[in-house]
Chain A
């Protein structure tokens, strides 16, 4: 029991020490300061074979076996450097923030790139697993994703991301733990609000108006127009961006309000609001969001939609503290490669 406690406290200390090392950043370049290197089990086994060969060479006084031992020994030594050089200069950066709804599988997106060399035999790992081996061509970017799993709504940060490689011969493993600033946003799940509660003080004609094309006039695209209003068929035939002008049906401003769903639990309200935001944004209508502690003034467009959804995802979080996904680094260390 004492041993267990001791081990626990040691591993706590170790993880605290590791947590204190290196700042969170959106881009890393691997080099001496963040790459660790150590022989693998297979590497130690290989050294054992070399020692056996050396003893054979000594006891039978065989020059040629000495020669083989030296050749393989030098290769072992060089492979330490090759293993490090393989990872050195690899750029790891956060990819686009992934957006998912609470019922879906999310993932962190990252981009790996090496401007000068091919990188071989790469494994990367985070909390939930490790990848198959992959290679990277010089100058090409490789997008990788690390799963978040099905999570409750919130904003998640990738706590630790490990990259490792046992190139070239599997004797030496070089690895790194990075705090890459990759984010995954999980929006509330989408729930259709009950019929009785629809039309929360807004004019329904905004959504129905778009559908009746014959009533629309067409005018050329201006910055600020909703993409959903573009007459794509026309664009395909004439290569002119034309929007279906629904100015005649000037939509009144919608306010999506927390208070409209009186009597429901707050998670349910968030799900209803989520569905409403999506519906309105699809329709291209102008809407505002009003939830306790945050009000977003009416606007339209996908950017507006995302900021509304983000607020719904973050609702209730104390201050700006994000939920962190802890990636258990010691687990990766235990899985030696052979």
Chain B
């Protein structure tokens, strides 16, 4: 007997002392800490983990003054740490911090509900930063835990952790097909407003300036920069020059982007129109989040994606920094080799800059590197032809004892002089930087291009992985009679760098991934290499089909499945989904209404009744079988009456026999 004497004014303010699911709350807190690792600063993660563990070990909670002190200290530390530097990470971390601090004084059901909702939102925010399968699985656990807390609040003391968690997981699995359809068909729209909050995450990969030795640092990392798959003819490795940035300003030591080069765009979106379903060859790049806005494209590329923009000098950019893996498609025309005239050089189209800045390709610093300047002046006098001059410089690199190394000696103030005439040991940044300066000194417009060269081909998945150690720098020069050409001085010194890879190019030296034990293990141990490639393949598929499913992909899919992209058709699909799901649930509901268990005789009798209905005799609800038989007796065919009679007697006899036993 339960009495209704518990008079509770309002359920939402009801205390939750009787709530028995505290461990779930703490596990949720810890799982969220795991997923915020790397987004929030390390001290914050550690402090919040300690708070959660302390609460777990002390079920009574903290005394009031301590609670106040901890809250104040955490918030103060947070603001001192970040100042007013407002980024997405700060916003997400702050939400997480406040939700976790709420644990210090969870008093009512409402408090707990607010805690769960904030945790759900934090889970969503964390997906802005991590998109791996593992992280998504972790977030699924977080969501399950959060929902189980809500469920437990409703079910109360009769909650059975295992059974209810199981039915929750079943519910989630049941909803997956619906979620998949929604995911595919729910109209994806462009951002409603540009988010004022940017990410403060450190950027990775090549940067927008290059000092001698800069790119050599990247050579120690086997982190993925991007992956690329080709539809149609697959280019050879030596063709893969991924242009990222043009560095056109030289200060005697460092190459960087000149002011007009930075952020200069053609304005508006690059019109991609009907090119979305390109029939010709194209390639697709899955760029890892590098927190920069530049993209890597092959020479002679045209965009097939609506979300990227064309910048000056044949470069492409994103409208915002790539905070997460981003996919784009490009069509491509192969650059033509110059030929015997200048082996190793390729003619480039569409890389010239807008007219007003053309002079910038001849900029040199006011002083410095006197030996190189003098040398080039002399060379120019003997060779008025640009092509001859470039050949002579390349020949110098090839013939003299220049070497390619990841451990070049440190150079002083006149870095080009020291490199060309003294040390003669360098990495691609030395060769590209020096050569661009040499050509400018001889009056030939030239610039350094940085990006990646090559990539590892994964034959199982038919794609290239381009890693940080594939970072490269080369030269583009505007030669009279030829126009812009690509020249790679590194190829003259170490052809294996371009034809094979960095590992081969520095194999004698043994410096490949020398400072990165884990990365080199992954490369040396065959099994680890295999596992790493397989994992990469899985993640690539995941990124390709799920993480990067966007407007363009939706457009393509709907056009393929529905014949035409129109909102009306999408609405029909979504409405149909809604209808089907509702029908399924209603059907399930009626199916679940239990009917009385019938024995064989009863079933046989009911079957006979349905046959009789064909002859026009039906037994109304409430009429006993015997009364029905009596009614039949007068006005039906004797055979029907006899059949009914035998079935009625069978029904009654057996039933009463059973009853007697």
B377 contacts the other chain (Cβ, under 8 Å)?
Answer: no
**Chain A facing B: main interface SS:** mixed
- Shortest Cβ distance from residue B567 to the other chain A in the assembled complex, whole angstroms: 16
When distances are taken between beta carbons in the complex, the residues of chain B under 8 Å from A66 are 183, 186, 188
- Could you tell me which residues of chain A, from 66 to 101, have a CB within 8 Å of some CB in chain B? 66-75, 77-78, 81, 85, 88-89
B17 contacts the other chain (Cβ, under 8 Å)?
Answer: no
When distances are taken between beta carbons in the complex, the residues of chain B under 8 Å from A120 are 154-156, 158
A135 in contact with B175 given A59-B191, A65-B124 (CB within 8 Å): no
Question: Apart from A58-B192, A61-B307, A130-B4, what 20 extra A-B contacts exist at CB < 8 Å?
Answer: A41-B12, A59-B194, A60-B323, A60-B324, A62-B324, A63-B547, A70-B179, A73-B182, A74-B178, A85-B589, A128-B7, A134-B2, A144-B4, A145-B3, A168-B151, A170-B154, A335-B9, A337-B12, A338-B109, A338-B110
B113 A77 Cβ-Cβ under 8 A: no
Q: What's the Cα separation between A58 and B117 when bound, in Å?
A: 20
Number of A-B contacts (CB under 8 A): 189
- Could you tell me which residues of chain B, from 153 to 199, have a CB within 8 Å of some CB in chain A? 153-158, 171-172, 174-175, 178-179, 182-183, 186, 188-195
Whose C-beta in chain B lies nearest to the C-beta of A338? B12
Quick one: CB contact mask for B211-231 with A, threshold 8 Å, 1 for yes? 000000000000000000000
B593 contacts the other chain (Cβ, under 8 Å)?
Answer: yes
When distances are taken between beta carbons in the complex, the residues of chain A under 8 Å from B58 are none
When distances are taken between beta carbons in the complex, the residues of chain A under 8 Å from B155 are 120-121, 133, 135, 167-168
Whose C-beta in chain B lies nearest to the C-beta of A166? B154
B599 contacts the other chain (Cβ, under 8 Å)?
Answer: no
A170 in contact with B547 given A53-B124, A59-B193 (CB within 8 Å): no
When distances are taken between beta carbons in the complex, the residues of chain A under 8 Å from B172 are 71, 75
- Shortest Cβ distance from residue B319 to the other chain A in the assembled complex, whole angstroms: 10
Segment of B125-133, B336-344, B507-515, B626-634 engaged in the interface with chain A: B125-133
Q: What's the Cα separation between A61 and B182 when bound, in Å?
A: 16
- Shortest Cβ distance from residue B141 to the other chain A in the assembled complex, whole angstroms: 13
**Chain B facing A: main interface SS:** helix
B1 A143 Cβ-Cβ under 8 A: yes
Q: What's the Cα separation between A69 and B127 when bound, in Å?
A: 12
B158 A135 Cβ-Cβ under 8 A: yes
**In-complex Cβ contact of B589 among A41, A61, A88, A167 (8 A):** A88
Interface size on B, residues (CB 8 A): 67
Q: A-contacting residues of B (Cβ < 8 Å)?
A: 1-12, 109-110, 113, 117, 120-121, 123-125, 127-128, 131, 136, 139, 143, 147, 150-151, 153-158, 171-172, 174-175, 178-179, 182-183, 186, 188-195, 307, 323-324, 546-550, 581, 585, 589, 592-594
22 A-B pairs whose Cβ atoms sit less than 8 Å apart in the complex: A52-B121, A55-B192, A58-B190, A60-B128, A60-B195, A63-B183, A64-B547, A68-B139, A70-B183, A71-B179, A120-B158, A124-B4, A129-B5, A129-B8, A130-B6, A133-B157, A145-B2, A145-B3, A145-B4, A147-B3, A147-B4, A168-B151
**In-complex Cβ contact of B123 among A60, A68, A88 (8 A):** A68
A107 contacts the other chain (Cβ, under 8 Å)?
Answer: yes
Whose C-beta in chain B lies nearest to the C-beta of A143? B1
Quick one: CB contact mask for A93-134 with B, threshold 8 Å, 1 for yes? 000000000000001000000011010110111101111111
Segment of A42-50, A178-186, A218-226, A244-252 engaged in the interface with chain B: A42-50
A63 B4 Cβ-Cβ under 8 A: no
A165 contacts the other chain (Cβ, under 8 Å)?
Answer: yes
- Shortest Cβ distance from residue B511 to the other chain A in the assembled complex, whole angstroms: 39
- Shortest Cβ distance from residue B171 to the other chain A in the assembled complex, whole angstroms: 7
Q: What's the Cα separation between A195 and B402 when bound, in Å?
A: 133
A56 contacts the other chain (Cβ, under 8 Å)?
Answer: yes
Whose C-beta in chain B lies nearest to the C-beta of A124? B4
B109 A107 Cβ-Cβ under 8 A: no
When distances are taken between beta carbons in the complex, the residues of chain A under 8 Å from B8 are 129-130, 132
When distances are taken between beta carbons in the complex, the residues of chain A under 8 Å from B585 are 78, 81
